Structure 1
């Protein structure tokens, strides 16, 4: 067995696409599948960008909002997830802080 830390101190700050969050990888990078924990501070955002592969954004604590290409904000709370297809423009953010586990890759298909 191996234990893996994925709290914010185990991650790296992301500011691409005018983002403000910390990404803590859970898996090694791969084209078919990867997982990471996104730590968004109060006021944090994952900036508007195009998904290169299918992506499942699973909120585990805090709350916030997600958008699709129309940029209409939809509220998300713990144990809710947003799914974006490859090529879909999207953004996510929070006023109070939010943590999400993000699964992405060509193997990601929501139920």
Structure 2
């Protein structure tokens, strides 16, 4: 399990085409990718299971706890992401709820674009 951040201050200001916004790059894939949005309510849980393919869970709103095969829960909040390799056991839970985007693909390498939370 690896923890990343995708905060606004780590992005790039975009002005092309008269734009005015900040873009935090996440991943780029050449193979098929599945992207979904997960809504965990109060006391919500994504149960302990193995990742079928590498997956990146990006917290957009709220906070919770994640764990990998190490077995220890680690806090995670909006602006942070967790990456699990294929076959890695993992779980996510939230006391008060969270909203997250999940990206699953055989070739995910978030380290190419995102900053590690702990270095």
TM-score, with normalisation over the residues of structure 2? 0.65
CA deviation profile, 1:3-62 (whole Å, cap 9, x unmatched): xxxxxxxxxxxxxxxxxxxxxxxxxxxx83100000000100000000010000000000
Q: Distance in 2 between matches of 1:51 and 1:32?
A: 16
Which whole-Å deviations, capped at 9, do the CAs of 1:66-106 have from their partners, x for residues lacking one? 00012210000001000000010000010010010000111
Select the structure of larger CA radius of gyration. Answer: 2
- For 1:54-93, list aligned pairs within 5 A: 54-93=54-93
Question: Is the 1:42–1:97 contact (alpha carbons within 8 Å) kept by the matching residues of 2?
Answer: yes
The runs of at least 4 consecutive aligned structure 1 residues that moved more than 2 Å come to none
**Mind listing any 5+ residue stretches in structure 2 that lack a counterpart?**
1-30, 112-119
Alignment: residue pair count:
81
Normalized against structure 1, the TM-score is what?
0.70
Task: Give the deviation of 1:108 after TM superposition.
Answer: 1.7
Q: Which has the higher strand share?
A: 2
CA RMSD of superposed structures (Å) = 1.1
Native 8 Å contact 1:71 1:91 kept in 2: no
